[in-house]
């Protein structure tokens, strides 16, 4: 059973496009994970620094071009919430990354299989 050249070329182009696209998306997803991990480290460092201050220390938060006095527990809650959200985002991105890597692997295997079967013909 032989596949016409036009159909084979179309399949190869589709596989190659899928492979390149998944490789690009893998790079973007890895960069997003790294950025979110960096943000978590910054939040944890900020929380640690604030934790060393006495409870009655005035703490200020930037709002636009000005700073407003904010209770320390409010800032601590915000840092915890943001950290939790970032960890959830990282979890979602890791699932997406696993899916993209599987797509990439399958596309590469299919492409190699087609090219090897073409050598036999």
pLDDT number for residue 34: 97
pLDDT number for residue 115: 79
Domain boundaries, the chain: 7-115
**Percent with pLDDT over 70 in the chain:** 93
Of 1.10.287.370, 3.10.20.740, 3.30.70.20, 3.40.47.10, the CATH number of 7-115 is: 1.10.287.370
Q: Decide: 61 and 68 in contact? Cβ < 8 Å.
A: yes
How would you class 113 by CB atoms within 10 Å of its CB: exposed for 0-12, middle for 13-18, buried for 19 or more? exposed
Euclidean distance between CA atoms 50 and 79, whole angstroms = 10
pTM of this structure: 0.80
How would you class 63 by CB atoms within 10 Å of its CB: exposed for 0-12, middle for 13-18, buried for 19 or more? exposed
- pLDDT per position as a tens digit, 73-82: 899 999 999 9
- pLDDT per position as a tens digit, 37-60: 999 999 999 999 999 999 888 999
pLDDT number for residue 81: 96
């Amino acid at each position: 059973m032989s596949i016409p050249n036009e159909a084979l070329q179309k399949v190869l182009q589709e596989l190659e496009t899928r492979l390149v696209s998944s490789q690009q998306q893998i790079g973007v997803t890895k960069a997003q994970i790294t950025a979110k991990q960096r943000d978590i480290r910054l939040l944890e460092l900020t929380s640690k620094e604030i934790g060393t201050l006495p409870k009655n220390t005035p703490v200020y938060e930037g709002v636009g071009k000005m700073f407003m006095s904010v209770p320390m527990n409010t800032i601590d809650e915000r840092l915890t919430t943001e950290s939790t959200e970032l960890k959830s985002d990282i979890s979602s991105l890791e699932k997406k990354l696993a899916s993209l890597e599987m797509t990439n692997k399958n596309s590469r295997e299919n492409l190699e299989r087609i090219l090897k079967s073409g050598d036999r013909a």
